[in-house]
Amino acid sequence: MEKWQQQLQQSVNTLERLREYINVTEAEEEAIATMKTTWGTSPYFASLMDRDDPACPIRRQVLPTLQEKINRYGIDDYLNWKENRKIGEVRPDSIARQYEDRVAFTVTDVCVNYCRHCFRKELVVDRDLKLRMDVDEGLAWIADHPEVRDVLITGGDPLILSDDRIEYIIRKLREIPHLQMIRFGSRMPIVLPHRITDGLVKVLSGYHRVPIWLNTQCNHPKEITELTAEAVYKLQTCGISTGNQAVLLKGINDDVETFRQLHQKLLSVRIRPYYLFYCEPAPGIDHFRTPVEKGAELIRDAIRGHTTGMAQPMYVIATNIGKIPLMPDYYIVDKNEKEYTLKNYKGITTKWPNIPEEE
Ligand SMILES: *Cc1c(COP(=O)(O)O)cnc(C)c1O
Ligand code: SF4
């Protein structure tokens, strides 16, 4: 058995195993004992948790809390609403669609780490929502829709499937003439980097007409280790570009210092920040959400101009009608036909000549 499979077999998902890694608080124990929810992580990710601090950013993403029972601001039946599952065209359960030219293709509802802030909490974590994850049905639908040029393979965590299964999905997608690119959304490089094996690399590698991209999810600098760096390097040596989709999480990454460090550290392991997501209004995750403005403020105060331009993610809210960018806009202080007055990250202004649109 490969190392990553051993890790999965030894998932940290019982109180007994959890106690090998941390001193469990009474509140954590009560939540685990009384709540009907899936929780757990890999031994590797568990080993990154702080033994004594319940506010540890990794611990908070791994362990259920009683706060999840409270739902003041979340939307009921969130995922069905968000993924337009009950309106418009008829699609297989595995296909979520908000755009004409690209779709999200859910191939599994199993994860390594059951993130407490998951926007698909109803499906993946709490499991009140059941969907049919039929891969062949999804593939047939995509083959039937020539306007779809980009498929985002998601889950759950799609890299939890076997190498053979992943190879099959990629091969079938590449046989579809209108497909131009394949994307994977996977937390593996962060929660179980051992998954990026030579066998997987073989499946993903090669110079092809249809390239593969991978976006992972990393929310705090503590989640990045040497193993992550090696896994990403391996992916890139076989032609897979690696991006990050962070989730803005209250008390975890919503301060200037942590936020900047996260994005700098991602680049230091060759992961390019792509999105910063506002934490979605799925039921029971109010305690992870900040006001909407917070993400733009962090980009303004921690990143833009303050550090490498490549460290900037685009801040978006993922809604039922697609992603809406909400970037900070403080740059234009004044404008007229002839010139703009522009302000930089330090608040210093400059003038810039404008060229009017030709008649
Ligand atoms: C996020 C998402 C996509 C991809 O959006 P990009 O902005 O291209 O990364 C596509 N379809 C659905 C349903 C999505 O949620
Ligand atoms: S890895 Fe993704 S799908 Fe799985 S629990 Fe975390 S956020 Fe949800």
> 111 in a domain, yes or no?
yes
Report how far ligand 1's centroid is from the alpha carbon of 87 (Å): 18
Name the maximum alpha-carbon separation found in the chain: 74
| Cα 122-217-344 angle, rounded to 5 deg | 120
Q: How does the average pLDDT of the chain come out, rounded?
A: 96
Is there a single domain that holds both residue 140 and residue 214?
A: yes
21, part of any domain: no
Is 203's pLDDT higher than 90?
Answer: yes
pLDDT computed for residue 247 by the predictor: 98
- Cα–Cα distance, 147 to 76 (Å, whole number): 32
**Burial degree of 334 (CB within 10 A; 0-12, 13-18, 19+):** exposed
DSSP letter at 305?
T
**Shared-domain flag, residues 269 and 154:** yes
- Looking at the predicted structure, is the pLDDT value of residue 178 above 90? yes
Single out the residue of 53, 60, 51 nearest to residue 18, CA to CA.
Answer: 51
Q: Judge whether 7 and 194 are in contact, CB under 8 Å.
A: yes
* CA count, 13 A, side-chain hemisphere, 287: 12
> At 329, is the pLDDT very low, low, confident or very high (cuts 50, 70, 90)?
confident
Do 278 and 253 lie in one domain? The reply is yes
pLDDT at 134 exceeding the cut of 90: yes
- What is the extent of the structural domain holding 359? 330-359
Residues 268-297 have pLDDT tens digits of: 999 999 999 999 999 999 999 999 999 999
Q: Could you give the number of structural domains in the chain?
A: 2
Residue 233 lies in a domain: yes
Report if residue 34 sits inside a domain.
no
Ligand nearest the Cα atom of residue 318: 1
**Between 135-143 and 163-174, two packed helices, what is the crossing angle to 10 degrees?**
20
CA 137 to centroid of ligand 2, rounded, Å = 23
Residue 62 lies in a domain: no
pLDDT band at 358 (very low <50, low <70, confident <90, very high): confident
Instruction: Let me know whether 191 and 154 are in one domain.
Output: yes
Same domain, 222 and 345: no
Whether residue 194 lies inside any domain: the answer is: yes
Is the same domain home to 192 and 339? no
* Whole-number Cα distances in Å, 301 to 245, 290, 353: 19, 16, 27
CB 267 within 8 A of CB 274: no
What is the residue with the minimal CA distance to atom 7 of ligand 2?
118
Residues 277 and 341 in one domain: no
For residue 253, give the nearest of 55, 31, 119 by alpha carbon: 55
Q: What is the pLDDT of residues 46-96, one digit of tens each?
A: 999 999 999 999 999 999 999 999 999 999 999 999 988 888 889 999 999
Ligand 1 contacts (CB < 6 A) are 96-99, 102-104, 152, 318, 323
**58 part of a folded domain:** no
pLDDT at res. 84: 84
Q: Do both 222 and 80 map to the same domain?
A: yes
Q: Kindly state whether residues 164 and 301 are assigned to the same domain.
A: yes
- Closest C-alpha to ligand 2, atom 3: 156
CB of residue 45 inside a 6 A radius of ligand 2: no
Residues 119 and 180 in one domain: yes
Q: Report the predicted TM-score, pTM, of the whole model to 2 decimal places.
A: 0.96
In a domain, 30, yes or no: no
Q: Report the separation in Å between the CA atom of 48 and the middle of ligand 1, taken as the mean of its atom positions.
A: 30
